[in-house]
Structure 1
């Protein structure tokens, strides 16, 4: 019984997804990450609803996202270089411990405050900052570790399953967060988020895998990772697409309270709308399983971006709750198609020695774009309208979809198959 993925003599056929989730190495890691992502979305939605209840300001709701995702914009490139040269497992443990600290501290503060109206908004922002630092430390390491958890030839399925944890988290977490916040209180919702982080921390602690790849050059050669983009410009285009996905996904959190308020709802409706986006992302996993028989990953990536942009247009034109829910579901499907397509193409193109640094840029694009998108969406909503914010999002995402067309994404990597 090995310390790596399930072994077989000689080359083995890629296993189906159901076998991967029961693999003794990949399975517990995947299940733990699934629960952690549910916890993340419980905290995201409960934080947004709480700050909206305290301030009625979309801009301040956006500042919560800004606080959480700003560290990932600043620190992730360095942690990506560390993931290429050190122990991804230790990095993940440290990062998840910080996430647990942030969620538990917020839960404790709220539970010990007699009236939730007395909770200062800055507490929510500071604890979101701590969680964001945890994501910055552990995020690139999770991406760098993924290929080592499965056999050669199974990376595309592992990427799809990994993205499924985000989709399920988006579907389940907001609904749970909204219901728990409205019934048991915000403090209990934040406590559940902390429990999710602890479960994943234990799963990673028990994980035993070979060390990550060691790249030549300076100890923390962040610049080397950025310079790699010059040798393969298509990687830069793929990262631009990932950034557009992050921008297109932001309205589900930042604009959720504003949309719910416009439609006559409260925290429960905020959770419903965000969950609709997550349900769409979950359904996208099955849509992709069908489409991949007829379309390559380049088409999936472009199609997903188009659906995400059209979803924002649909939300801007929504006149009632069902219309908004449908628009969010469509956007969720688009998110899954785009992320699976773009991420699989990246893993196929990038040499393993650079994967930590390039996937750190993946995180900078997907997650680091959120503080900018959240701030812009919040400001536009407060100064103009939520419709103006949504249409601005649509223009940006559809513009990038035009750049990330299949003919561009299919251009061969320099020197042939570089992902070795």
Structure 2
């Protein structure tokens, strides 16, 4: 069961990254503004702020698999409709920036509905002894998609422009929904009392260490935002084009794959707590290399380093929070995890875009590196664990 779930998640994440790259490039081509590219990321992730708590409560109240299917269908249908508009009317007549932002918002809403059940289902798909490895693979799956998706998106942009990219991204979301129809997870524990939307907040208020880990997820996501928001401007500044945007995002994903390979050997000699701190440090170091790079090659290397740190920090934080949360609260707490991890992107995207337009793109990347380095303190929260 878990293999099919993981494969579907990778496929859907590939689609999301193709969609993200295409939307960012299309907006930059339409406006030439880093701020408007940031607005695309904002439209993608604002639904996390609006709907995550409600989706988390639904996850603890109804069938998690069906809710996840509904979210993937919503994203897929929206992106397919955007692709159809572009194919029929072209980039000049499809509706411009407003239509693009609305479509990205609706696709993001589908993702907001999907995130809590996608996280909460994992323990019901594997035996208890395999939970840590499954959680690690589940956290790595987006990075595998990040490795494939940007390269695929860049190739599709070169071959057929944004219309072709969106035409591939939409069915990728729908494919995950089809795969889920064949998966039958174990029944989840249901709350004995009424499911309250703010139950996750109450749990985090009572468990301060879990709350610190949640803030760590927000911080590492903030540090990774330049991969989405700033790569078009970085590529242009170094004399590259759409293919360089894809190269940078792919390099970040390659770093994540390196982290996956290194994770098991590292766990034999390092416990989760310091490994999470090291992940923050490696991510910050990679961002500094990117900011100071005079050429595409060195910037690409910096993104590889950043991707390695990002996935190390992400896997550690995800594993630690999933180990602590009771199953009857899992949907609401993991909704807050998704909110912390992805819901910070609107603020990060706007801040990165504003700094890049007001100063330069290098200053924006360095700001993200400094925030990441300071935030490594959040990963130092400790309790008894192996």
Normalized against structure 2, the TM-score is what?
0.97
Equivalent positions of 1:82-231 (< 5 A) are: 82-114=58-90, 116-119=91-94, 120-219=96-195, 221-231=196-206
User: 1:55 and 2:12 equivalent?
Assistant: no
- Tell me, in whole angstroms, the C-alpha distance in 1 between the residues paired with 2:199 and 2:177: 31
Q: How many residues align?
A: 385
Question: What is residue 296 of structure 2 aligned with on the other side?
Answer: 321
User: 1:44 and 2:20 equivalent?
Assistant: yes
- Tell me, in whole angstroms, the C-alpha distance in 1 between the residues paired with 2:132 and 2:224: 22
Question: What is residue 9 of structure 1 aligned with on the other side?
Answer: none
Shift of 1:85: 2.0
Shift of 1:106: 1.3
User: 1:365 and 2:340 equivalent?
Assistant: yes
Shift of 1:113: 1.7
Question: What is residue 309 of structure 1 aligned with on the other side?
Answer: 284
Contact persistence 2:283–2:372 (CA under 8 A): yes
Contact persistence 2:139–2:318 (CA under 8 A): no
Contact persistence 2:45–2:342 (CA under 8 A): yes
- Tell me, in whole angstroms, the C-alpha distance in 1 between the residues paired with 2:342 and 2:329: 20
Contact persistence 1:85–1:212 (CA under 8 A): no
Shift of 1:391: 1.6
Question: What is residue 240 of structure 2 aligned with on the other side?
Answer: 265
- Tell me, in whole angstroms, the C-alpha distance in 2 between the residues paired with 1:298 and 1:118: 52
Which among 253, 267, 272 is matched to residue 297 of structure 1?
272
- Tell me, in whole angstroms, the C-alpha distance in 2 between the residues paired with 1:245 and 1:339: 7
Bigger share in helix: 2
- Tell me, in whole angstroms, the C-alpha distance in 1 between the residues paired with 2:336 and 2:286: 26
- Provide the alpha-carbon RMSD of the alignment: 1.4
Shift of 1:161: 1.4
Shift of 1:77: 1.4
Q: Secondary structure at the match of 1:319?
A: coil
Shift of 1:403: 3.1
Q: Could you list the runs of 5+ residues in structure 2 that have no partner in the other structure?
A: none
Shift of 1:211: 2.8
Normalized against structure 1, the TM-score is what?
0.89
User: 1:389 and 2:364 equivalent?
Assistant: yes
Shift of 1:412: 4.5
Q: Secondary structure at the match of 1:170?
A: helix
Contact persistence 1:85–1:213 (CA under 8 A): no
Equivalent positions of 1:340-379 (< 5 A) are: 340-379=315-354
- Tell me, in whole angstroms, the C-alpha distance in 2 between the residues paired with 1:81 and 1:154: 27
Which among 54, 61, 64 is matched to residue 78 of structure 1?
54
Contact persistence 2:140–2:315 (CA under 8 A): no
